Amino acid sequence: MPSGSLPVTLRLTGRRVLVVGGGRVATKRVRAFLDAGADVVVVSPEASEPIAALAASGELVWHARGYTTSDVDGAWLVQTATGSAVDDQVAADAEERRIWCFKGGDPEAATAWMPAVARADDVTVSVCGGGDAGRAKRLRDEVALSLDTGGLPLRHRTRHPGGRVALIGGGPGDPDLLSARGRRLLAEADVVVVDRLAPLAVLDKLDPDVEVVDVGKHPDHHPVPQEEINQILIEHARTGKVVARLKGGDPYVFGRGGEERLACEAAGVPVEVVPGVTSAISVPAAAGIPVTHRGVAASFSVVTGHDQLAQLPVGGDHTIVMLMGVRRLATTTAELIAAGHSPDTPVAVVERGYAPDQRVTVGTLADIAEKAAAVGATSPAVTVIGDVVPLSPHWP
């Protein structure tokens, strides 16, 4: 920070700001002052179309004439933007009256500098580049990116804006596949209610005082019933906390996110749903398998291993993606063959998609259960059935 300067935040609502000039710089600053709630007065013989339109709508006052010294009277802040000697006169008049002045194109002669600003919800970060506007903007953009992606802490420490719940799809488990919106909401959270298949590595970046509630479910073992999970979300939100419900995949693809949203809404708790990269598509992709492919498959179904499978379209040109079914693989493949699917239909079982120990086992409906059992395949795993499977580099 340059010697002799002090960063401050000005509260301009209802206070007069004078802008002398009507061109590009003036237009940009006018918008910023109006956004801050200022009572804006523009003095310039000519003005840009946006300024003229704002004046016509009554959002600011435009005096279509040259500057006079009395124009600065009553102003709390002044912006010069004529690009001429008029700027010097305005700055001198403001100095004499002890009014802070932004001086367009001449920061060294100004008594105030306009920062580059990044905002996230009710957080405002101002960046001063030592009078170098371009430098400040580049720094501001990096700060804004960190705010948007949850790289900077956004939690309220002294007050809360009101309890709320965010149902966040965490993707297939790789933290890099968590959306920027999801990361940002996690950075704001006071409580994180997490599933077993969520990207658990992101929990390491939470503040130490963030409460983490593990409600993870295992095959045939649900230690925390769904109704209790719903109540956990509601009770924490009702205490004024920001609650992040971090789930694997997408909340609305076999994630019971719809039930949680409806429960929160019924309890009067604000809730937001953040889509995630569903494992039904991303895990096959991790094994090099597209669920659709031109000339091979034009449609696909996503099912669980517990569903009735006889109604699914028969034929390798319709891809079947099966979640949560590796333990019933022998039963499932037998049901599909009995329903008319060819025993020679290609199948892949993809375990722990995107993890360092990801494993892919391939075969056909006739032998995949035996092959998966031979390697000890376990959940989490996604099974892909159809003619797209041989597109994978894992196919022999």
Name the residues annotated as catalytic. 195, 217
Residues 17 and 38: their CA atoms lie apart, in Å, by 6
b/e map 1-12, b = 16+ CB within 10 Å:
eeeeeeeeeeeb
The Cα-based distances of 237 to 21, 128, 267 in angstroms read: 50, 37, 10
Counting every residue written for the chain, the total comes to 396
Sign of CA dihedral 341, 281, 372, 246: negative
Shortest CA distance to 61 belongs to which of 89, 40, 31? 40
Tokens at residue 222, please?
């649900």
Q: In whole angstroms, what is the distance from residue 53 CA to residue 360 CA? A: 62
Would you say the C-alpha torsion 321, 325, 329, 331 has a positive or negative sign? Answer: negative
Question: Which of these, 118, 93, 117, 88, lies nearest to 104 by C-alpha position?
Answer: 88
